[in-house]
Structure 1
Amino acid sequence: MSLRSVLRAQTADCHAEVDTLFGTFDLSNRQQYQTFLCAHARVVPAVEDALEDAGIIRLLPDWPERRRTQLLLADIAEFGDPLPQPLPPPALHSEAALWGALYVLEGSKLGGALLAKSVPDHLPGSYLRPQGPKGAIRTFMDRLDASGVDDPAAAVFAARDVFGLFLKAGQLELEAVS
């Protein structure tokens, strides 16, 4: 079974929980969209930095083009919002963990492309719009499948950890505006 299949199967529950939570946000509503972006800002920059610090560029040479932190921070800045306190990133001590964390971030781009259609044109939307080279997701999936990871459990653990961060961040932001 490919690592992608293992990750999909063993994180499906986390993925569904995160999708359910973030599906409650009405991205056509300015306040809810700002809250959505702030939740992502608690996770994405920290995880991207952790991936970079752990050497993701060795596994994915086009990593710099895949980063979305600057797009996210620019969208938040357009609203004039302060940046929220980031959550601590996962420990990424193995190649398997890198692939697991990256699986979640790259997958969120696909979801983001669908969500971008809900964001009105007058609101900042660069974070959710597809970016990077054409075919980037296919390239990622091909590299993931060819990774030869010998510890899929570590990849699953890291992916579940990142999904958990998104869940916690979404809950924190929703509590803050309630």
Structure 2
Amino acid sequence: MSLRSVLRAQTADCHAEVDKLFGTFDLSITGQYRTFLRAHARVVPSIEHALEAAGIVRLLSDWPERKRTQQLFADIRELGDRLPELLPPPALHGEAALWGTLYVLEGSKLGGALLARSVPDHLPSRYLTPQAPKGAMRTFMDRLDASGVDDSAAISAARGIFDLFLKAGQLELEAVP
């Protein structure tokens, strides 16, 4: 079984929880869209920084084109909001943790593309519609499957990233009056 299939199966429950939570946001309503972006801004920069500190560019030379923090920050600023406090970055030890983490981040781009359809044209949506190099997802999935890393360590890292997204969403929802 491919690593992507193992990760999909072993993180399905976490993925469903995150989808359920973030599915409560109506992205056509500016305030809810802003809250949605703020939740992502609590974790995406920390995760991307942790990946860089752990040497992600060794695994994916096109990493700089895959990052989305700047698009996320630009969207939040355009909405006239301040950036939220970041959650602590995940501890990423070993190549398997990098691949598990990337599995969640890269997968979120697919979900983002679907969610972007709900965002009205007058709202910024750079974060949900990043301009990735052609074939970037296929390249990622091929490299993921060819990585040969320990499944359990990749699964553990992916579950941890899903948990970070869940925590960030809950924090932002609690802050809404």
Structure 1 outlier segments of 4+, above 6 Å? none
Q: Which residue of 2 aligns with 1:147?
A: 147
SS in structure 2 of the partner of residue 159 of structure 1? helix
Distance 2:105 2:119 in 1: 20
* Matched residue type, 1:14: C
Contact 2:18-2:162 within 8 A present in 1 as well: yes
Q: Which runs of 5+ in 1 are unaligned?
A: none
Distance 1:95 1:25 in 2: 34
Q: Which runs of 5+ in 2 are unaligned?
A: none
SS in structure 2 of the partner of residue 133 of structure 1? coil
Moved more, 128-137 or 114-123: 128-137
Pairwise CA distance, 1:130: 3.8
Distance 1:86 1:7 in 2: 26
Q: Which residue of 1 aligns with 2:16?
A: 16
CA RMSD of aligned residues (A): 0.7
Q: Taking every aligned residue pair, what percent have the same amino acid on both sides?
A: 80
Show CA shifts across 1:56-114 (max 9, x none). Answer: 01001100000000000000010121111111121111000000000000000000000
Aligned length, in residue pairs: 177
Distance 2:173 2:93 in 1: 31
SS in structure 2 of the partner of residue 42 of structure 1? helix
Q: Which residue of 1 aligns with 2:124?
A: 124
Distance 2:151 2:74 in 1: 35
Map 1:31-46 → 2, pairs under 5 A: 31-46=31-46
Contact 2:15-2:162 within 8 A present in 1 as well: yes
Pairwise CA distance, 1:152: 1.2
Distance 2:131 2:176 in 1: 30
SS in structure 1 of the partner of residue 161 of structure 2? helix
Q: Which residue of 1 aligns with 2:174?
A: 175
Residue 66 in 1 paired to residue 59 in 2? Answer: no
Q: Which residue of 1 aligns with 2:83?
A: 83
Distance 1:89 1:164 in 2: 12
TM-score by length of 1: 0.98
Distance 2:34 2:75 in 1: 9
Distance 2:162 2:134 in 1: 26
* Matched residue type, 2:68: R
Distance 1:89 1:103 in 2: 16
